[in-house]
Chain A
Amino acid sequence: MESTQATNHVSYLQHKPHKIGILNWILSTDHKRIGLLYLYSIMVFFIVAAFLGLLMRIEKFAPGETIMDAQTYNGVFTVHGIIMIFIIVIPGLAAVFGNFFLPILIGAKDVAFPKLNLFSWYIYIAGAILALISQFASGGAPDTGWTFYVPYSADSSTNVIWALTAAFILGFSSILTGLNFIVTIHRLRAPGMSWFRMPLFPWSIYATSWIQVLATPIVGITLLMVIAERTLNIGFFDPALGGDPILFQHLFWIYSHPAVYIMILPAMGVVTEIFPTFSQKPIFGYSAIALSSVAIAAVGYFVWGHHMFTTGISYWSRWFFSFLTFIVAVPSAIKVFNWISTMYGGSIDLKPPLLWAIGFIFLFMIGGLTGLVLGALATNVHVHDTTFVVAHFHYIIFGGMGFAFFAGLHYWFPKMFGKMYNIKLANISFIITFIGFNVLYFPLFIIGLQGMPRRYFDYFPEYQYGHVISTIGAFILIIGIFIMLFNFFRGARKGEIAPANPWKGVTLDWQIESPPTLLNFDEIPVITEKPYTFKKEEEA
């Protein structure tokens, strides 16, 4: 199908029922427009939080005060963390690509509850704005770290309550989106699409949504308890009021460890779509990948204690949490082997989406394997709360989730906007970002092993070489990301018209027009075969 034939059809972007332009966005219940609303909001916040990260790196260029004082630094890393985690990574892929492509990939016209979907975005924006206010309101930026550990968060005189409320509200958005997706997947699959004929991105969204629905209320209640502690002096966690500070850590990580999977599962789902398309070959080990998502989601609930190995929790619980942490590592390894086997024997076209997906595998491997260092008891004791941990989770969250996000953007960009970005520039931006990323985060492994703690405004001179290299990496990384964003903006405005199926994909997203029409399909397709079935060139 060529896009010229689409002229008798109106794309979702041209569908404008309201006269005032912006109303077509903020009143639209179209899942595709809502996906873009999330995309744009996330992009804006990402630039803010990345800038805060850069400020931190500049501060660390030399020991002592470089560009800001200790209190400012503590506020900056807290707000960087809150924005990145609660506003960007947790909604992240699920909210953007889940909204845009989940219905399309299962052959539906929209999600199950379109109005609720838009409402979730409003809740999200309310929470996000509150988080921004917390940075600038009169009490000073919150300085507790995104983990809000009590007693410090009960004592600090900064805007902790604003930040807690923001995270609490954002949680609702997450729960409602998860609920919406679960119902959508159960009820709206196209005729003939049995569970095991469903593409794997929807599978990963399914597993993610259950975590969102089941785990988020725990952190919601916990944050409310801290607010009650601060305002009403009820002693839940603060020992000065008779509370238990370790209880807070348990409750916090019961949510926040599964939250790591909320971030990474959809990312795995995205690259799982990319490998078959660019290898022109079915995904290798379909059921292994689908079920390992579910396994990760299930076992992932029982490993939170690995964040607390040094808190003095009992000998046996350390043993138990360490053991399960190793078990939950296996499904991730299985996925990596399956992705690579998908490429093996294929017809590989190394276009930007595949390049980003391969970059994802490399960084995710480093992140995952260093996670084993943190899962083992003896080594955890040494590297816990050092920059080793910082490097580890940036490899997982940024190298994993972030790179998969960029892979997805490059993959679906022509579908979403009906235009093409510049391929050469995309390759250049990938290389710069990839190099910058490693120069930025790899040294943190090394100085972390030497003993450099995290959340340190100041440090001993023996760690300076690592900080200097890392700061240089931050600048390279930022340049790469800006080239990429520039390429997207230029592509969306004056890129070439993209054909409906530029990558020769076989999932439903590539069988409809670019950009899709308001209801995606003229006629709901009937599914008769397994996903990822490629036809020989002659037959096609």
Chain B
Amino acid sequence: MFSGASNFVEGVDTAFAFIFGVSAFFIIAITAFMIYTVIRFKRSKVKNPKQFRGSVTLELIWTIIPTILVLMMFYYGYMGFAPMRNVPDDVMEVEAIGRMWEWEFVYENGKSSKDLVIPVNRPVKLNLKAEDVNHSLFIPAFRVKEDVVPGYDNYMWFTPYYIGDYEILCTEYCGMLHSAMTADAKVLDSAEFEQWYADLSQQKEEEKPEGFEITKSNGCFACHSRDGSKLVGPSFKGLYGSENVVITDGEERTITADEDYLKTSIINPNQDVVKGYNPGLMQSYEGVISDEDIDKIVEYLKTEK
């Protein structure tokens, strides 16, 4: 009856239609009956109302009929859902990584992308990984959503039916920029996809110091840019060795961003708050990142010129 962007649309929308149909009928019928009752039995018309107290037959009727209807709703819901956990064998697997506040999709050949690029008409399975807090991957057009929880191996699958771009949203609250944690699902025809997939030229990134990877996997880039632009926090570009005004215990002072300062900024960010930024946004990474790794991050920060 319904068709849409993925193989699940039909089942899900059938369940919607059934539940909404039954609900609309009851809302309209009951409301109309209430209005009729209030008008028909106005106090000015009825002086001595009959004093009946109930009816077993009626109680049975309105227990049994709703029970049957809700069991049917359960059935439709179940039928639309069951295939979602039943992954076919010939799927293409992609790792979907959620971190504050971006998605990353990693393919079997090592290719990584900010958008989910997939071929049309081929089942895709997303293996969901969270690097920090809970997220949830939602593609409204495909009617799929699964939570991305650290420490858990959740998954989802679907077959896209049409070529086009679809929104991917994060639907589990994950902190400040939760609403910016979006991406695109780009459905291509197979030839185009193969071409994109085989092209690994973008992947050969310049040699990065070890600290870069640590910084990246801790989600620092969600708040700190590398190109000088201001995000939630100040950019890392040219940070090392620069002179900054910070507020310490309500007093303004000027510091030079040396190794010690950078370390304190990571371990105890609210001690010296950079002027023009709010305290309390950056959490302390003490105990979260080992001292060794913090040193590596600082080494890396020195290279951001």
A and B physically associate: yes
Which A positions have Cβ atoms within 8 angstroms of B? 70-71, 74, 138-140, 143-145, 149, 151-152, 155-158, 233, 239-240, 244-246, 279-288, 310-312, 315, 318-319, 322-323, 326-327, 329-330, 333-334, 336-338, 340-341, 343-350, 358, 361-362, 365-366, 369-370, 372-373, 375-382, 384-386, 449-451, 453-460, 530, 533-534, 536-537
Which residues of B does A touch, CB under 8 Å? Answer: 8, 11-12, 15-16, 19-20, 23, 26-27, 30-31, 33-34, 37-38, 41-43, 46-55, 58-59, 62-63, 66-67, 70-71, 73-74, 76-81, 84-85, 128, 132-134, 136, 138, 140-141, 143-147, 149-155, 167, 169-180, 269-270, 278-284, 287-288
A245 x B151 contact (CB < 8 A): yes
Query: Are the CB atoms of B136 and A157 closer together than 8 Å?
Result: no
Q: Which residues of B contact A311 (CB under 8 A)?
A: 147, 149, 152, 154
Find out whether the CB atom of B144 lies under 8 angstroms from the CB atom of A341.
Answer: no
Contact of B63 among A144, A312, A330 (CB under 8 A): A330
* 6 residue pairs bridging A and B, Cβ less than 8 Å apart: A138-B280, A329-B70, A348-B38, A376-B80, A381-B145, A453-B170
Is the CB–CB distance between A379 and B80 below 8 Å? Answer: yes
Q: Point out the residues of chain A lying under 8 angstroms from B144, CB to CB.
A: 381
**B171 neighbours in A (Cβ, 8 Å):** 384-386, 453-454
A140 touches B59 (CB 8 A): no
Cα distance A533–B53 in the bound complex, in angstroms: 10
Least CB distance, A71 to chain B, in whole angstroms: 5
Cβ B49 vs Cβ A279 within 8 A: yes
* Least Cβ–Cβ distance between A150 and chain B, in angstroms: 8
Distance in angstroms between the alpha carbons of A372 and B169 in the assembled complex: 24
- Do A333 and B179 touch (CB < 8 A)? no
B74, closest chain A residue (CB)? A326
- The answer on a CB contact under 8 Å between B147 and A312 is yes
Partner of B76, one of A239, A349, A378: A378
Q: Are B70 and A450 in contact (CB under 8 A)?
A: no
| 4 other A-B residue contacts (CB within 8 Å) besides A333-B66, A341-B58 | A282-B53, A285-B53, A311-B154, A534-B51
Which residues from chain A contact B132 at a C-beta distance below 8 Å? 151, 155
- Let me know if A373 and B176 touch, CB within 8 A: no
Closest B residue to A530 using CB positions: B53
A151 with B53, Cβ < 8 A, contacts A158-B280, A285-B59 known: no
Q: How near does chain A come to B64, taking the closest CB pair, in angstroms? A: 9
Question: Is the contact region of chain B dominated by helix, strand, or loop, or is it mixed?
Answer: mixed
With known contacts A347-B49, A365-B27, A384-B145, A337–B62 Cβ distance under 8 A? yes
- CB atoms of B38 and A156 under 8 A apart: no
Is the CB–CB distance between A281 and B71 below 8 Å? no
A330–B68 alpha-carbon span in the complex (Å): 10
In contact, B50 and A377 (Cβ under 8 angstroms): no
B81/A381 in contact, CB under 8 A? yes
CB distance from B269 to the nearest CB of A (A): 8
Counting chain A CB atoms within 10 Å of each CB, which of B53, B77, B140, B153 scores highest? B77
- Report which of B8, B43, B152, B173 forms a contact with A348, defined as CB distance below 8 A: B43
Residue in B closest to A72 when the chains form the complex, CB atoms: B278
- The CA-CA distance from A72 to B197 in the complex, in Å, is 41
B30-A336 in contact (CB<8A): yes
Q: Report the bound CA distance from A68 to B283 in whole Å.
A: 21
Closest to A153 in B: B133
* Inter-subunit contact A157/B19 (CB<8 Å): no
Partner of B288, one of A140, A240, A386: A240
Which of the residues A74, A343, A456 comes within 8 Å of B41, measured between beta carbons?
A: A343
Least Cβ distance of B277 to chain A in Å? 11
- Are B179's CB and A145's CB within 8 A? no
Nearest 10 A/B pairs, CB to CB: A376-B77, A378-B80, A451-B140, A377-B81, A312-B154, A239-B151, A369-B23, A140-B280, A456-B179, A385-B171
A365 to B34, CA, bound (A): 13
Given contacts A312-B147, A345-B50, A450-B140, contact A375 B23 (CB under 8 A): no
Chain A residues contacting B42 (CB-CB under 8 Å) are 348, 350
Could you say which of A152, A315, A373, A458 contacts B19, with CB atoms under 8 Å apart? A373
A365 and B27 CA atoms in complex are apart in Å by: 7
Would A347 and B172 count as touching, CB distance under 8 A? no
CB distance from B116 to the nearest CB of A (A): 16
From the candidates B47, B73, B167, B177, name the one contacting A347 in the complex (CB within 8 A). B47
Query: Of B16, B43, B134, which contacts A373 at CB under 8 A?
Result: B16
A423 and B66 alpha carbons, distance in the complex (Å): 37
Partner of A279, one of B41, B147, B170, B282: B41
In the bound assembly, the distance between CA atoms of A365 and B282 in angstroms comes to: 44
- With A311-B147, A343-B37 already in contact, the answer to whether A326 and B280 are too (CB < 8 A) is no
B176 neighbours in A (Cβ, 8 Å): 70-71, 74, 143
| A378 adjacent to B77 (CB under 8 Å) | yes
Given contacts A377-B80, A379-B15, A381-B12, contact A310 B136 (CB under 8 A): yes
User: Would B66 and A312 count as touching, CB distance under 8 A?
Assistant: no
A140, A282, A365: the one within 8 Å of B279 (CB) = A140
Contact, CB under 8 Å: A453 / B179: yes
Structural contact, A372 and B12, CB atoms closer than 8 A: no
Contact residue among B33, B62, B74 (Cβ-Cβ distance under 8 Å from A322) = B74
A375–B12 CB distance below 8 A: no
Query: Which A residues touch B269, using CB under 8 A?
Result: 157
Contact status A288-B278, CB under 8 Å: no
Q: How far is the CB of B234 from chain A (nearest CB, A)?
A: 16
Q: B150, A376: Cβ atoms under 8 Å?
A: no
Q: Are A281 and B51 in contact (CB under 8 A)?
A: yes
A143 proximity list for chain B (CB < 8 A): 175-176
Roughly how many angstroms separate A39 CA and B205 CA in the complex, as a whole number? 64
**Complexed CA–CA distance, A281 and B54 (Å):** 11
A239: chain B residues at CB < 8 Å are: 150-151
Q: Within 8 Å CB of A536, what residues of B? A: 48
Residues in A whose Cβ lies below 8 Å from that of B26: 365, 369
A139: B residues at CB distance < 8 A: 280
